[in-house]
């Protein structure tokens, strides 16, 4: 156990005990006065001590001791010895030689320095010689020395007790500190666990939300798809009919027979109608796609999972998504010779297409007016029991405030028509359905990397030699 902070704690207690000792010393003097009343020299010593020596002692104890330590004690001892000596010799009251001795013994309670004891011892011996040569009986210095030793023993015992108490309280404090910090650690651990639990709950809520969305979509899919069918049929019919009509108009009425404004109108319709019809057809397809995508969320998890060749899936997805990235980014691929994974090739392709299209959009967003081309890196590698497919873009990145919402269904930052906010939610659902994980890291300064991690299929636990 480390010792008490002697400089501070100890001297603090010392000061208080010394003050008590000073009171004790004063009591000795009062007793002396009572026993020698009538002796003018003794009275002078007592009064002088009370007026000068005691305030000086208090000053040394309170002010100098913390700063000078043992040297302050020497100063005090010297002052007391000199005072006693002066009174004893000059005023002719030999007892004053010795009164300081028990006084010092009581008040000097932290005397460890040997030189101080040597000095004091020498002073005692010198004083005794002077006293005895002055005609004082040898019993007086001896009895004072015995009394001083007696006081000293008592003081030392007291200090020992105080020190032990200090050590005890220090130990207790250290134990308290230790208990406190272990409590703090436990608290931090609880907090971490709590956060993990909240995360898990949020994930679960999200899964439930997705399932509900899927069930709803499946329920209304029929109701939506039926009108979509006749809208689509009708659009097709309108397209053919319109083209026929325009052709007939042109054939029946040569443009010369039309007024300028009518000819212009026909020209306008011929240009705009096919486009309007195509837009309508596109809208129908898009609604149908959304319904189909939403239905995916409710699909049961138990689908036949077969060993999937990740690299072939990546190549297929790149081919399908090509029209999305070919104008905005260069694609680099680094496909390691990875083992087959357990999963569903169709769903994995869909996930990868989704991620590649997202990467292309992110890259397009930083292209700027000069159409700077970005970069999409796709790599596959083995990592422990998993195969990692990384899709890294040099695009806009995901702002920190959106990081938690990336996989939320219907969360999108894209303008209408470019994304309905289901892509990543669905991708995550699909990857997890295949027993994998979908993770990402994003830095607005660098771009985003999505990682699909899928378990290596049991049948191909060893890396295959032939790709």
Partner 1 sequence: VTTILFVDDEPDVLRSLERALHRDASRWTMVFACGSEHALTALRRVSFDAVVTDIRMPGTDGARLLTFIRERHPTTRRLVLSGDVGPAAVESLKGVAHALLAKPCPIYDLRRAIEAALAEAAA
Binding segment for partner 1 (CB under 8 A), chosen from 61-69, 291-299, 308-316, 376-384, is 291-299
With binding defined as CB under 8 A, does residue 299 bind partner 1?
yes
With binding defined as CB under 8 A, does residue 228 bind partner 1?
yes
Least spacing, CB of residue 232 vs partner 1, in Å: 4
Question: Which of 76, 152, 295, 433 touches partner 1 by CB under 8 A?
Answer: 295
Binding segment for partner 1 (CB under 8 A), chosen from 235-243, 252-260, 328-336, 353-361, is 235-243
Kindly determine how many residues on this chain lie close enough to bind partner 1 according to the rule CB under 8 A.
Answer: 26
Question: Which of 118, 181, 226, 333 touches partner 1 by CB under 8 A?
Answer: 226
With binding defined as CB under 8 A, does residue 284 bind partner 1?
yes
d(CA 128, CA 94): 10
Question: Which of 118, 161, 171, 234 touches partner 1 by CB under 8 A?
Answer: 234
With binding defined as CB under 8 A, does residue 385 bind partner 1?
no
Nearer to partner 1, 343 or 390 (CB): 343
Nearer to partner 1, 305 or 442 (CB): 305
Question: Which of 134, 177, 203, 240 touches partner 1 by CB under 8 A?
Answer: 240
d(CA 61, CA 341): 82
Q: Are 151 and 145 in contact (CB under 8 A)?
A: no
CA distances from 396 to 303, 361, 392, 447 (A): 36, 9, 12, 6
**Cβ-proximal residues to 136 (8 Å cutoff; 6+ apart), any chain:** 94, 97
* Residue 180 burial (10 A CB sphere; 0-12, 13-18, 19+): exposed
Binding segment for partner 1 (CB under 8 A), chosen from 182-190, 227-235, 333-341, 404-412, is 227-235
Binding segment for partner 1 (CB under 8 A), chosen from 10-18, 106-114, 224-232, 380-388, is 224-232
With binding defined as CB under 8 A, does residue 246 bind partner 1?
no
Nearer to partner 1, 172 or 229 (CB): 229
Question: Which of 19, 79, 156, 224 touches partner 1 by CB under 8 A?
Answer: 224
Nearer to partner 1, 238 or 367 (CB): 238
DSSP annotation string for 403-423 = GGGTTSTT---SPTTT--S-H
Binding segment for partner 1 (CB under 8 A), chosen from 44-52, 216-224, 311-319, 349-357, is 216-224
CB-based burial, 356-388: b 16+ in 10 Å, e otherwise: bbbbbbbbbebeeeeeeebbbbbbbebeeebbb
Considering Cα of 277, then 283, then 289, then 292, what sign does the dihedral take? negative
Strand partners of residue 390: 379, 451
CB atoms within 10 A of CB 65: 21
Binding segment for partner 1 (CB under 8 A), chosen from 190-198, 220-228, 392-400, 412-420, is 220-228
CA distances from 315 to 121, 142, 333, 341, 358 (A): 100, 109, 9, 16, 17
Question: Which of 150, 230, 268, 410 touches partner 1 by CB under 8 A?
Answer: 230
Nearer to partner 1, 223 or 264 (CB): 223
Q: What is the 3-state secondary structure (H, E, C) of 46-69?
A: HHHHHHHHHHHHHHHHHHHHHHHC
With binding defined as CB under 8 A, does residue 221 bind partner 1?
yes
Q: Are 60 and 75 in contact (CB under 8 A)?
A: yes
Binding segment for partner 1 (CB under 8 A), chosen from 59-67, 90-98, 221-229, 438-446, is 221-229
**Cβ-proximal residues to 361 (8 Å cutoff; 6+ apart), any chain:** 324, 395, 414, 418, 419
Least spacing, CB of residue 426 vs partner 1, in Å: 16
Nearer to partner 1, 277 or 438 (CB): 277
Question: Which of 28, 116, 162, 218 touches partner 1 by CB under 8 A?
Answer: 218
d(CA 311, CA 390): 12
Which residues contribute to the site for partner 1 (CB under 8 A)? Answer: 218, 221-234, 236-237, 240, 281, 284-285, 288, 292, 295, 299-300
């Amino acid at each position: 156990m480390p010792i008490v902070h002697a400089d501070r704690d100890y001297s603090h207690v010392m000061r208080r005990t010394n003050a008590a000792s000073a009171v004790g010393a004063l009591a000795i003097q009062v007793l002396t006065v009572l026993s020698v009343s009538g002796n003018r020299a003794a009275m002078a010593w007592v009064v002088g001590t009370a007026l000068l020596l005691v305030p000086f002692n208090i000053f040394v104890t309170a002010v100098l001791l913390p700063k000078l330590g043992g040297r302050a004690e020497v100063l005090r001892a010297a002052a007391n010895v000199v005072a006693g000596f002066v009174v004893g010799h000059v005023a002719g009251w030999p007892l004053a030689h010795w009164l300081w001795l028990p006084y010092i013994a009581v008040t000097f309670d932290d005397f460890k320095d040997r030189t101080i004891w040597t000095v004091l011892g020498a002073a005692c011996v010198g004083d005794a010689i002077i006293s005895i040569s002055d005609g004082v009986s040898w019993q007086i210095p001896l009895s004072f020395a015995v009394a001083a030793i007696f006081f000293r023993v008592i003081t030392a015992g007291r200090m020992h007790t105080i020190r032990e108490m200090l050590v005890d309280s220090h130990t207790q404090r250290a134990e308290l500190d230790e208990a406190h910090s272990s409590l703090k650690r436990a608290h931090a651990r609880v907090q971490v666990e709590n956060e993990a639990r909240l995360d898990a709950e949020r994930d679960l809520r999200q899964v439930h939300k997705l399932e509900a969305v899927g069930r709803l979509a499946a329920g209304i899919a029929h109701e939506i798809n039926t009108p979509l069918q006749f809208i689509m049929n009708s659009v097709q019919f309108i397209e053919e009919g319109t083209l026929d009509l325009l052709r007939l108009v042109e054939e029946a009425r040569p443009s010369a027979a039309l007024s300028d404004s009518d000819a212009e109108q026909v020209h306008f319709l011929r240009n705009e109608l096919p486009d309007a019809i195509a837009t309508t057809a596109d809208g129908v397809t898009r609604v149908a796609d959304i319904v189909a995508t939403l239905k995916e969320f409710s699909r049961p998890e138990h689908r036949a999972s077969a060993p999937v060749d990740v690299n072939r899936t990546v190549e297929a997805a790149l081919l399908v998504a090509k029209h999305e990235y070919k104008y905005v980014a260069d694609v680099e691929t680094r496909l390691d010779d990875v083992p087959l994974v357990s999963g569903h090739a169709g769903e994995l392709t869909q996930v990868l297409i989704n991620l590649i299209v997202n990467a292309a959009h992110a890259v397009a967003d930083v292209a700027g007016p000069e159409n700077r081309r970005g970069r999409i890196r796709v790599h596959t590698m083995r990592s422990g029991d998993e195969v990692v497919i990384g899709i890294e873009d040099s695009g806009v990145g995901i702002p920190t405030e959106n990081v938690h919402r990336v996989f939320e269904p219907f969360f999108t930052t894209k303008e209408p028509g470019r994304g309905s906010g289901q892509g990543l939610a669905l991708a995550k659902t699909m990857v997890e359905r295949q027993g994998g994980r979908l993770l990402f890291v994003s830095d607005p300064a660098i771009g985003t990397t999505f990682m699909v991690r899928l378990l290596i299929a049991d049948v191909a636990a060893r890396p295959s030699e032939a790709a």
